[in-house]
């Protein structure tokens, strides 16, 4: 199974993830500087299959996968699993009904 991501894509993906995660100050973070330094240090022409560059590229892709997956997982978690159940009033409201009110209270309530 051949590697699909080129070093350029991996680098840009990493920087994009850091920007999404951190916000406007992402260029001052340790991670940003570390990523750029690593890519500059391992910069070889793409044709040479250096043992170390393969390791570095695999590490970069793994970190990119980590950042992307945690972000997407958290997004799905917030969207689907973080809000608990709806109250009976809300459930009724979904189909346009309202719960009946009983002014005297229900029979078994004190």
Exposed/middle/buried for 42, CB within 10 Å: 0-12, 13-18, 19+? middle
Q: Identify which of residues 80 and 107 has a Cβ nearer to other proteins in the complex.
A: 80
Q: How far apart are the first and last CA of the chain?
A: 70
CB proximity list for 71: less than 8 A, separation 6 or greater: 17, 20, 21
Site string (12-51) toward other proteins, x via CB under 8 A? ------x--xx------xxx--x---x-------------
Residue 99 sits in the site that holds other proteins (CB under 8 A):
no
Least distance from other proteins to the Cβ atom of residue 107, Å: 25
Query: Using CA atoms, how far apart are residues 40 and 15, in angstroms rounded to an integer?
Result: 14
Identified binder of other proteins from the candidate list 24, 48, 49, 84, rule CB under 8 A: 84
Query: Using CA atoms, how far apart are residues 63 and 66, in angstroms rounded to an integer?
Result: 5
Binding site for other proteins (CB under 8 A): 1, 3, 18, 21-22, 29-31, 34, 38, 54-55, 58-59, 61-63, 65-66, 68-70, 72-74, 76-77, 79-85, 87
């Amino acid at each position: 199974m051949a590697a699909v991501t080129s070093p350029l894509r991996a680098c840009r993906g990493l920087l994009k993830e850091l920007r999404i995660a951190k916000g406007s100050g992402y260029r001052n973070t340790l991670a940003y500087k570390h990523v750029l330094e690593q890519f500059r240090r391992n910069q070889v022409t793409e044709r040479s299959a250096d043992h170390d560059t393969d390791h570095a590229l695999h590490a970069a892709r793994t970190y990119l996968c980590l950042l992307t997956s945690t972000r997407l997982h958290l997004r799905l978690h917030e969207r689907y699993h973080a809000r608990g159940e709806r109250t009976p009033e809300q459930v009724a409201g979904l189909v346009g009904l309202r719960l009946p009110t009983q002014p005297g209270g229900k029979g078994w309530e004190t």
